[in-house]
Amino acid sequence: MKQAFALLLAALGFFQVAAQKKVAITYDDLVLNGPYISLEHTIAVNQQIIADCATFGVPAVGFVNEKKLDVTGETVARINILKSWLDAGLELGNHTYSHPSLSRTPLEEYQNDVIKGEEVTKALMEERGLTLRYFRHPYLHTGPDSTTKASFEAFLSARAYEIAPVTVDGSDYIFNTVYVDALRAGDTSLMQRTGAAYVAHTLRMFDFMEEVAKEVIGRNIAHVYLCHANAINADYMGILYQELKQRGYEFTSLKEVLQDEAYQRKDYYLGKWGISWLYRWDKEKSTEWLKIEPEIDQEILSLYNNR
């Protein structure tokens, strides 16, 4: 009887582990996304994001636009921000130099921007025995046509890059713009409403994408969350991490998430929109999914559109 009970407990433990939800957290637009306040604020934003990663055990990847390093009188301090990410055991990826769109930029020009965007980041990583291995398309624009897309993917492969896909996106840049405007105005009430709306919307997006995954893949998958290095995430990402943990999510590396066989599926999408890979894997229903996504809080959206 005891042996049977032990086997039952072991089986239950196995299913608990098997049911564990996983997500890789990725931050775009390092060293800062959104409206600029000051160098001191930029440093503080990154310090808090890094501290939250340490508190919650998040092995995040930060995707760098190296143009954001080229600020007169601030370059050394901004490079030191990247060093602080690496010193904390986090990883950096290439997000191009100037954040162009592959849908609107000639291929050769775009590829040169990718090369220019790796110079500092690659050197910093190599100093630590690390390899720059991930590329994230700005705007998630992966190519306007099949020829451009295939040519660029061959270029990335030749430079030993792996594309960093995205399954969940909370549109934090919209909330952040309103949040920083409120911060500048000293409107703490609007800051609190915006932060709360951001967390709530992002959790709805996770719930929604879990259901999309079940329809497209037949099960929930290990997810990749796209957010940005910005003020609202410095103040609210810890709350979001806690909420995701309570929903059963384990924070894991991008490398581990991409081992989920779902990511071996073909990205069918061609077009000008930056959409979730879950939509790309189901080209017949991608438009339908977009139409029924959770909507952003109307107050926030109105403030963003009318600023």
pLDDT value of position 18: 41
Q: Tell me the CA distances in angstroms from 167 to 1, 43, 140, 219, one per residue in order.
A: 45, 29, 11, 14
Question: At which residue do the structure tokens 């055990």 appear?
Answer: 57
298 touches 174 (CB < 8 A):
no
229 touches 62 (CB < 8 A):
yes
Q: Which of 6, 33, 5, 17 is closest to 237 using CA atoms?
A: 33
CA 187, CA 12: separation in Å to the nearest integer?
A: 50
Is residue 1 a part of any domain in this protein?
A: no
Q: Encoding tokens for residue 200?
A: 């709530």
Q: pLDDT tens digits for 165-219?
A: 999 999 999 999 999 999 999 999 999 999 999 999 999 999 999 999 999 999 9
Q: What single-letter DSSP state applies at residue 160? A: T
Assess whether the previous peptide bond of 166 is cis (omega < 30° from 0): no
Is residue 41 a part of any domain in this protein?
A: yes
Is residue 12 a part of any domain in this protein?
A: no
pLDDT value of position 6: 43
269 touches 142 (CB < 8 A):
yes
163 touches 135 (CB < 8 A):
yes
Q: Tell me the CA distances in angstroms from 206 to 93, 134, 170, 275, 304, one per residue in order.
A: 24, 23, 8, 15, 23
CA 90, CA 284: separation in Å to the nearest integer?
A: 37
CATH of the domain at 75: 3.20.20.370
Is residue 98 a part of any domain in this protein?
A: yes
pLDDT value of position 9: 41
Is residue 2 a part of any domain in this protein?
A: no
Question: At which residue do the structure tokens 């010193």 appear?
Answer: 87
pLDDT value of position 11: 44
Name residues of the chain where pLDDT drops below 70. 1-19
pLDDT value of position 286: 82
The domain of 250 spans 21-305
Is residue 295 a part of any domain in this protein?
A: yes
Is residue 52 a part of any domain in this protein?
A: yes
CA 168, CA 189: separation in Å to the nearest integer?
A: 28
Q: What single-letter DSSP state applies at residue 282? A: -
Is residue 163 a part of any domain in this protein?
A: yes
- What's the number of domains the chain is made of? 1
Q: How many residues does the chain have?
A: 307
